[in-house]
Amino acid sequence: GENVEQHPSTLSVQEGDSAVIKCTYSDSASNYFPWYKQELGKRPQLIIDIRSNVGEKKDQRIAVTLNKTAKHFSLHITETQPEDSAVYFCAASSRGNEKLTFGTGTRLTIIP
Amino acid sequence: NAGVTQTPKFRVLKTGQSMTLLCAQDMNHEYMYWYRQDPGMGLRLIHYSVGEGTTAKGEVPDGYNVSRLKKQNFLLGLESAAPSQTSVYFCASSPFSGARGPGNTGELFFGEGSRLTVL
């Protein structure tokens, strides 16, 4: 089955700086890669996703890049703000597979 | 529109007791999932369902059973609770699989979570 590894497990960034979280996946058939944000005590919520037919996707301060050859994808947050503090999860699934496999999460702390 | 609702929100059990977690969604979604969340281990899939009357095993199904008698409800049962089942449980629903093709977001909509402690 799919295995998703996520790094780092914790990340502290000065407010206004950029944050990068990286994930690798094992199944070359995977073609859908979402990112979820979970604020303290809250439910996970989708913030951005990418499919394997594109290499990069942006939504305001958030971007995701995908390298299919190397089987890794990354989340980039620019101009970080205090409200970006949360746990971020990457995930992967493949065509015909109804399941998402999640990474172990990255706790991002924005330092004012 | 309540989205995905889980009950109960909190529960304390003794080892060997049984209980059922109820997940209800009002978005007419086909797919429903039960995940458990433990520190440092992310979200691990317990069981899932791709439609009314269907269930399938996820990564960590042992010790749990599920049923999907109605499209809007997905029940997670613990027949004989163990301390290793202490966790936060999240239910989720999705209109489509994430990999079914263009136009289908595959987004998972999560419930608020249920914190279960087994003593």
Pick the residue of A99, A104, A107 with the most B CBs within 10 A to test the interface with B by mutation: A99
Q: Select the residue of B42, B48, B105 nearest A99 (Cβ to Cβ).
A: B48
Q: What is the DSSP letter of B111?
A: -
At B51 the three-state DSSP class reads: coil
Q: Is the pLDDT of residue A98 over 80?
A: no
**Inter-residue contact B3 to B108 (CB < 8 Å):** no
Q: Is the pLDDT of residue B20 over 50?
A: yes
Cβ contacts below 8 Å, chain A against chain B, sum to 68
b vs e for B16-47, b when ≥16 Cβ sit within 10 Å of the residue's Cβ?
eeebebebbbeeebbbbbbbbbeeeebbbbbb
List pLDDT tens digits, range A35-92.
Answer: 999 999 999 999 999 988 789 999 999 999 999 999 999 999 999 999 999 999 999 9
Q: Is the pLDDT of residue A4 over 80?
A: yes
List pLDDT tens digits, range B91-108.
Answer: 999 886 544 444 455 789
**Inter-residue contact B111 to B47 (CB < 8 Å):** no
The phi-psi region of residue B30 (left if phi > 0; otherwise alpha if psi is between -120 and 50; otherwise beta) is alpha
List pLDDT tens digits, range B22-53.
Answer: 999 999 988 999 999 998 889 999 999 988 99
CA B43, CA A65: separation in Å to the nearest integer?
Answer: 22
Pick the residue of B6, B91, B97, B112 with the most A CBs within 10 A to test the interface with A by mutation: B97
**Does the N-terminal peptide bond of residue B39 adopt cis geometry, omega within 30 degrees of 0?**
no
Query: Quick one: closest CA in A to B107, which residue?
Result: A46
For position A99, what pLDDT does the model report?
82
